[in-house]
């Protein structure tokens, strides 16, 4: 399952959005991604602690680093990597897991509330030998090719992602994610996510349900939070997963906090 465990996804443009998509609900703290991009010359930096517990093994991603830079209004450059601390069966191991450099292109854009679609290929780098031996990194390398779709329907903002890992080494996987949410106040947004990760011919194969949200702390800073677990029928269940972090939004190539009018 990407971003939880490393084993953990048309027509051309119609109209250009302002700098930052306002309605998209997916993306951190959720596993599912959305078509949103930071805007030209802007940074979106997500720094978080993510915890997962399964089969008596607990993993902490501290920190989980997610760096995103806007290249034009529709393209996003991304680099993700977690530092993992794993504990279970009387043993403990730590180190960097697989990294995910990638590029997102929002190729369909009907404006706020309309259809948004993007592709977001990411390359999963091979984990170190020690991280593979400890079980918190994949042998690699793999290419993730997902499609993201977003649209507002009445009071709800809906996001869907479907993707596939093409493996040079390691298992191939199919991922499906769905997020639905609503912005209740100028500061608070709450969402629910359903996510499925299915490896071909081997674990993992599980579906998770989680609840979370975002709370704007002030200009340029947003609190991110989420908690959930596997639901019935999953193979290799996650007993618990959580995400707590902060999103930092920077304008002018990182020189300033987001400008007035760019906030949600």
Q: Pairing state of beta strands 116-119 and 122-124? A: unpaired
Cα angle value 257/182/225 (rounded, 5°):
60
| 10 in a structural domain | no
Cα 150 to its chain centre, rounded Å, is 15
More confident residue, 26 or 222: 222
pLDDT for residue 238 is more than 90: no
| 17 in a structural domain | no
pLDDT attached to residue 19:
35
More confident residue, 117 or 15: 117
CATH of the domain at 245: 2.40.160.40
pLDDT for residue 203 is more than 80: no
* Alpha-carbon span 58 to 52, nearest angstrom: 6
What value does the mean pLDDT take over residues 26-31? 94
pLDDT for residue 21 is more than 60: no
| 30 in a structural domain | no
Residue 220's domain spans which residues?
Answer: 43-256
Q: Is 98 exposed, middle or buried (0-12, 13-18, 19+ CB in 10 A)?
A: buried
pLDDT attached to residue 103:
98
Q: Which helix (H) or strand (E) holds 96?
A: strand 91-96
| 194 in a structural domain | yes
| 2 in a structural domain | no
pLDDT for residue 13 is more than 50: no
Enter the pTM of the model.
0.87
Q: DSSP E strands: which ranges in 154-261? A: 156-167, 173-183, 188-199, 205-218, 221-230, 240-251, 256-257
| 74 in a structural domain | yes
More confident residue, 233 or 193: 193
3-state secondary structure 102-168: EEEEEEEECCCCCCEEEECCEEECCCCHHHHHHCCCCCCCEEEEEEEEEEEECCEEEEEEEEEEEEC
pLDDT attached to residue 236:
62
Of the CA atoms within 13 Å of residue 73, those in its CB half-sphere come to 13
Cα angle value 36/42/187 (rounded, 5°):
60
pLDDT attached to residue 211:
98
| 32 in a structural domain | no
Q: Where are the alpha helices (DSSP H) in 38-128?
A: none
| 263 in a structural domain | no
pLDDT attached to residue 235:
58
pLDDT for residue 4 is more than 60: no
What value does the mean pLDDT take over residues 160-172? 87
Kindly report the average pLDDT of the chain as a whole number. 87
* Alpha-carbon span 110 to 97, nearest angstrom: 37
In the chain, % of residues over pLDDT 90: 67
The pLDDT tens digits of the residues spanning 57-111 come to 899 999 999 999 999 999 999 999 999 999 987 788 999 999 999 999 999 999 9
Total domains in the chain come to 1
């Amino acid at each position: 399952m990407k971003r939880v465990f490393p084993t953990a996804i048309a027509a051309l443009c119609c109209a250009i959005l302002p700098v930052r998509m306002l309605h998209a609900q997916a993306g951190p703290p959720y596993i599912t991604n959305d078509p949103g991009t930071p805007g030209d010359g802007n940074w979106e930096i997500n720094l978080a602690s993510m915890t997962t517990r399964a089969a008596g093994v607990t993993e902490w991603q501290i920190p989980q680093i997610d760096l995103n830079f806007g290249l034009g209004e529709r393209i996003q450059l991304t680099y993700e990597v977690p530092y993992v601390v794993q504990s279970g069966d009387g043993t403990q191991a730590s180190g960097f897991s697989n990294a995910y450099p990638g590029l997102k292109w929002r190729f369909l854009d009907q404006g706020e509330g309309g259809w948004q679609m993007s592709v977001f290929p990411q390359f999963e780098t091979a984990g170190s030998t020690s991280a593979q031996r400890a079980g918190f990194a994949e042998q690699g390398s793999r290419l993730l090719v997902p499609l993201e779709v977003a649209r507002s329907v009445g009071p709800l903002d809906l996001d869907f992602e479907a993707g596939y890992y093409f493996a040079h080494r390691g298992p191939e996987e199919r991922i499906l994610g769905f997020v639905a949410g609503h912005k209740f106040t100028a500061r608070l947004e709450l969402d629910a996510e359903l996510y499925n990760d299915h490896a071909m011919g081997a674990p993992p194969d599980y579906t998770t349900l989680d609840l979370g949200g975002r709370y704007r702390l002030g200009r340029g800073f947003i609190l991110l939070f989420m908690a959930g677990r596997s639901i019935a029928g999953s193979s290799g269940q996650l007993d618990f997963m959580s995400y707590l972090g902060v999103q930092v939004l920077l304008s002018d190539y990182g020189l300033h906090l987001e400008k007035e009018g760019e906030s949600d």
